[in-house]
Amino acid sequence: MSTPAPSAPHPEWSLVVPVKVLARAKTRMSAAAGPHREALALAVAADTVAAALRCSRVRDVIVVTDDPVPAAELAALGARIVPDEPDAGLNPALIHGAGRGRDLAPGAGVGALSADLPALRPDELAAVLDAAARAPEAFVPDAAGVGTTLYTARPGVPFSPAFGGDSRTAHRARGARELLLPGTDSVRRDVDTPDDLRAALALGTGPRTAAVAALLPDFAPSAGHGRG
């Protein structure tokens, strides 16, 4: 009797996470967050990075930032920090970080992940990355259906992100496969506005975001907002 062939191992990924200088981050949250705006921006990024690092498919998380405060905190979580040496906008920064990822692990896929996913769950990210491995390039649209929260390129495939504005349309136009998997809401739920934050809290954010949100007058603590 023949034995089944072992299944192929899941591919590994290096994910690039761009983190703004905190003074310029989460500006659409200014009225709701007040003096806690920068702390909220850092908490959201930290919960995102922590969840990505817990994902079984992720080999490295490479944070591109020129702000020493998030650089120190995210490095302490286990992320690799690179400066935004091109200083020419978001997509060049992502390409710079992806180059570092391919230097570290030439056989791994590379991806660009939004830093604004405080409800991100490692198992949902793993499911999306497994689907992404079946296409040369792939992307996940944000919850609004306009932007992008994750863009990926398999090993050997040029890394050509098109973030900014209607990036969903831009990535489609470039031939990247759109991934809309059931049960992966946390990968799509980015946070830019107060309504976004409410939706993320309803999903269950990481502990840092929940703690800062509890300080905001418009976000009274309630059961189920946070998760460990």
What is each CA distance from 65 to 3, 14, 59, 75, 183, in whole angstroms? Answer: 50, 16, 19, 11, 31
Q: Which two tokens stand for residue 205?
A: 């954010």
- Give the dihedral of Cα atoms 32, 33, 38, 43; nearest 10 deg: -100
**DSSP 8-class letter at 42:** H
- For 107, list phi and psi in degrees, rounded to 5: -90, 0
CB 131 within 8 A of CB 179: yes
- For CA atoms 78, 83, 89, 93, the dihedral sign is negative
The H-or-E segment that residue 52 falls in is: helix 37-53
- For 219, list phi and psi in degrees, rounded to 5: -130, 70
Residue 167 in marked binding region: yes
Give the 3-state secondary structure of residue 112: strand
Residue 164 in marked binding region: yes
| Nearest C-alpha neighbor of 171 from the set 197, 132, 209 | 132
- For 184, list phi and psi in degrees, rounded to 5: -125, 35
Which residue is associated with the tokens 């906008």? Answer: 89
Residue 152 in marked binding region: no
Known binding-site positions: 148, 164, 167
Known binding-site positions for phosphoenolpyruvate: 148, 164, 167
